[in-house]
Amino acid sequence: MVFSSLLFLFRFLPIAFLVYYICPQKLKNLAILIFSLFFYSWGEPRYFPIMIASILVDYLVGLGIGRFGENRRLKKLFLACSVVFNLGMLAFFKYSDFLLSNLNNLLGTSIPLLGLTLPIGISFYTFQTMSYSIDVYRGKVQPEHNIIDFGAFVTLFPQLIAGPIVKYSDVSRELKSRKITMDQVQDGIEDFVLGLGKKVLIANNIGALWTDVQALGFGGISTPLAWLGILAYHFQIYFDFSGYSLMAIGLGKMLGFQFPKNFDFPYISKSFTEFWRRWHMTLGSWFREYLYIPLGGNRVSAPRWYFNMFVVWFCTGFWHGADWNFILWGLFFLGFLLLEKKFLLSRLEKSQVFSRIYVLFFLCISWALFSVTDLTQLGVLLAKMFSFTGGSDWLYYLRNYLVTFVLGAVLSTPVIYTRYVKVKTKLPAIRFVVVGVILVSSVAYLVDASYNPFLYFRF
């Protein structure tokens, strides 16, 4: 069950950080482990054993690979145990009903669906623990012998449920020795509040429009309102996910960790090649390092390269959800990336305006594919977007959401952020005023509002 609101965080964090800061250095990882397990169990208590199993399996796999490092066959066996366990668990909980329903449709059978609830964050932490085992196998990192330290890595509550995907190599040194300075805590608080503002004040507000459009039904709305709804989702998913990632990075700093950046203003991209260097950067890095390169990358024959690209983007789409629309979404990007690789990229780089219009236009279409899981309704929405159906229904929503649209558009670029960074270094008081206003506004919104979805919790 997804947390109904962020108010739980505000009840949980003060106690967790107070205990963490007063703990001696050697007990800090234990504190992280205990509070992280409590945080996870609050949302999904029945899946607590799965989290414990994830810790134990990859911890023992790492020890086994380290112990039998000279025996290649045993090393592969241990690695296979990690891959089979992690992917098997992910497949069972996330994809079993998808596979069963498609099997029923194909064969005309009536195998009952399992109806399993997806454990929160399973797509993220299974990738994290599996990457640890792979890195130990490759000799990139040493096996972790302290199960408390390893458990703290797996369960780190700031990024446990929605990323960014943090590899063991990203935090291995900090797990053993880290210093927490007041400047680091102050930066962490600032990142957390800015991320909270992105999620609560922009994503939640603009997301309500998309919810209204869905409630109206795609068949009964005008073409302008269909585009307005998709544009709302375009901003909602970015500020929702990038906001949570920034909150996680901020909390990580407050604990003494430097988590990798997950977003770098992707909506200013001039190509989809650039977009995927800026969007969900830790996922793209994971697939590149643990799937694309092992398949051979681009140092293969042309047919094999096409196959490698197909596998990566099929998996990228399927990772996001167990429905055909997510697979179509991944293959949609594959098509554009192949076109750009072959001839389009050089042309796009020559234009500052057309290239960005090209990305934003087709990106909105991609979000239509992403947001609607029912393929019939997806067809209705796409038809409505290009049928040029008139109507004045969109004017009401544009008037109500115009300010949020403008804010979303401006804050999707680095213009305001760049100026803010310059000002806060010269006038520190500005920093406290901005952060304070955002925090008070966000908390006030959370207290009054009932609409508070976290889109990436379901992945």
Catalytic residue set: 320
Phi, psi of 149 (to 5 degrees): -65, -40
Distance between CA 50 and CA 163 in Å, rounded?
A: 18
> Do residues 207 and 453 lie in contact, with contact meaning Cβ atoms separated by under 8 Å?
yes
Contact 325, 375 (CB under 8 A): yes
Tokens of 318: 């399927």
- Cβ atoms of 317 and 329 closer than 8 Å: yes
Question: Do residues 59 and 133 make contact, with C-beta atoms less than 8 angstroms apart?
Answer: no
In angstroms, rounded to a whole number, what is the distance separating the alpha carbons of residues 249 and 262? 9
Pairwise CA distance, residues 1 & 11, whole Å: 18
Distance of CA 142 to the CA centre of its chain: 27
Distance set, CA 156 to CA 36, 232, 376 (Å): 6, 32, 40
Place of tokens 């329903």: 101
66 touches 143 (CB < 8 A) = yes
